């Protein structure tokens, strides 16, 4: 009887294992297909000349000055984390933000226990600007402001504030107006070089790495429409001090 039961157990286990494996495989393919579908659309920015051709994009002397800025220096105190896959630019940006404030989190830690759960390792459709704000609020007792539809002068003012150690900025932009390719993306703003009008973007994609871009060019990439939310992209402005720290200061 025992041997018969064991045989029956093996007989049922194998088909169920095979079925489960097939479901997982199919779901993974479906998730990848959904995530990459937007990449198959015609490239509306194919004629754009990439900022990679600009001499200041990765200029070593300018980058040295940029890394010496106060907020950039705060990010540099801990290893900069690059996104684990194309859908994780948001979590990687939040992880680096937290590290700049002295809180050690990985991009996987950032999502744990939140409503934003990956599907077989992929955040299908990524995160919207408002979802990013909600994610940061879950992880930090900080004031988070969503900023959209800025004029170019107002955008430059926001970039200047990116040098203020009491704030952190995360920018949501479309890669197309900058590189002539790509899709929506998040990265921290590490600082601003006002004499050169260059924004220091801490790109969380290891293929690009932190780079410098003129404010107007970045502004054009930020004032694009997010097809997932139907809203414009924009900025997140995060107060570095917690509510308790603000109360003590007052």
59-80 pLDDT, tens digit each: 999 999 999 999 999 999 999 9
Beta-carbon-side half-sphere exposure of residue 68 (alpha carbons within 13 Å): 7
If phi over 0 gives left and psi between -120 and 50 gives alpha, with beta otherwise, what is residue 191? left
Q: How sure is the predictor about 198, in pLDDT bands with cuts at 50, 70 and 90? A: very high
* Residue 38 pLDDT class (50, 70, 90 cuts): low
| Cβ partners under 8 Å of residue 100, min gap 6 | 71, 74, 75, 77, 78, 168, 188
Question: What is the model's pLDDT at position 125?
Answer: 84
Answering whether pTM is above 0.75, one says yes
Report residue 124's pLDDT band, with 50, 70 and 90 as the boundaries.
Answer: confident
Among 118-122, 194-198, 241-245, the minimum mean pLDDT is found in 241-245
d(CA 127, CA 135): 9
Compute the mean pLDDT over every residue in the chain, rounded to the nearest whole number. 86
pLDDT at 163: 98
Q: Which fold has domain 42-249?
A: Cathepsin B; Chain A (3.90.70)
Q: What does the longest C-alpha to C-alpha distance in the chain come to?
A: 85
Express each pLDDT in 75-115 by its tens digit: 999 999 999 999 999 999 999 999 999 999 999 899 998 99
- What's residue 40's pLDDT? 57
Domain coordinates in residue numbering, the chain: 2-38, 42-249
State the pLDDT confidence band at 12, using cuts at 50, 70 and 90: very low
CB–CB of 127/228 below 8 Å? no
Tokens at 64, concatenated? 């040295």
Q: 95: phi > 0 → left, psi -120 to 50 → alpha, else beta; which?
A: alpha
Helix (H, G, I), strand (E, B) or coil at 194: coil
Instruction: Decide if pLDDT at 137 tops 70.
Output: yes
Is a pLDDT exceeding 90 seen at residue 2? no
Confidence band for 221, pLDDT divided at 50, 70 and 90: very high
Is 90 exceeded by the pLDDT of residue 15?
Answer: no
pLDDT at 20: 42
């Amino acid at each position: 009887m025992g041997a018969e039961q064991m045989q029956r157990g093996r007989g049922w286990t194998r088909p169920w294992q095979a079925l489960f494996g097939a479901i997982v495989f199919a779901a993974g393919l479906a998730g990848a297909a959904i995530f990459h579908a937007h990449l198959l659309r015609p490239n509306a920015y194919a004629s754009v000349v990439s900022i990679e051709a600009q001499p200041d994009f990765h200029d070593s002397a300018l980058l040295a000055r940029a890394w010496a800025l106060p907020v950039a220096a705060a990010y540099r105190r801990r290893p900069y984390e690059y996104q684990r896959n194309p859908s994780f630019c948001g979590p990687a940006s939040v992880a680096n933000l937290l590290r700049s404030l002295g809180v050690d989190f990985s991009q996987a830690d950032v999502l744990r226990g939140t409503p934003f759960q990956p599907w077989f390792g992929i955040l299908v459709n990524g995160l919207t600007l408002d979802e990013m704000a909600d994610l940061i609020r879950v992880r930090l007792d900080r004031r988070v402001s969503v900023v959209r539809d800025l004029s170019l002068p107002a955008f430059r003012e926001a970039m200047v504030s990116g040098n203020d150690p009491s704030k952190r900025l995360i920018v949501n932009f479309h890669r197309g107006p900058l590189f002539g390719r790509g899709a929506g993306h998040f990265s921290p703003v590490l600082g601003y070089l006002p004499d050169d009008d260059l924004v220091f973007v801490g790109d969380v994609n290891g293929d690009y790495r932190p780079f410098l871009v003129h404010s107007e060019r970045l502004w054009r990439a930020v004032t694009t429409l997010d097809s997932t939310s139907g809203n414009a992209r924009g900025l997140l402005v995060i107060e570095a001090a917690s509510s308790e720290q603000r109360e003590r200061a007052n």
